Amino acid sequence: MNFVSVRIITSDVQRLVRFYGEITGMPVTVYTEDFAELATPACTLAIGSTRTLMLFGGDIARPADNHTAILEFRVGDVDVEFARLSDLIKNTVVQQPTTMPWGNRSLLFRDPDGNLVNFFQPVTAEAIRKFER
The residues with which 81 forms a beta bridge, in sequence order, are: none
CA angle 44, 50, 51 (to 5 degrees): 105
pLDDT tops 80 at residue 114 = yes
In a domain, 61, yes or no: no
pLDDT digits (tens, 9 = 90+) for 61-111: 888 888 899 999 999 999 999 999 999 999 999 999 999 999 999 999 999
Range of the domain at 52: 1-56
Same domain, 76 and 133: yes
pLDDT digits (tens, 9 = 90+) for 30-75: 999 999 999 999 999 999 999 998 878 877 788 888 889 999 999 9
Same domain, 75 and 94: yes
Same domain, 73 and 32: no
CA angle 108, 38, 62 (to 5 degrees): 65
Same domain, 29 and 83: no
Domain count, the chain: 2
Same domain, 44 and 88: no
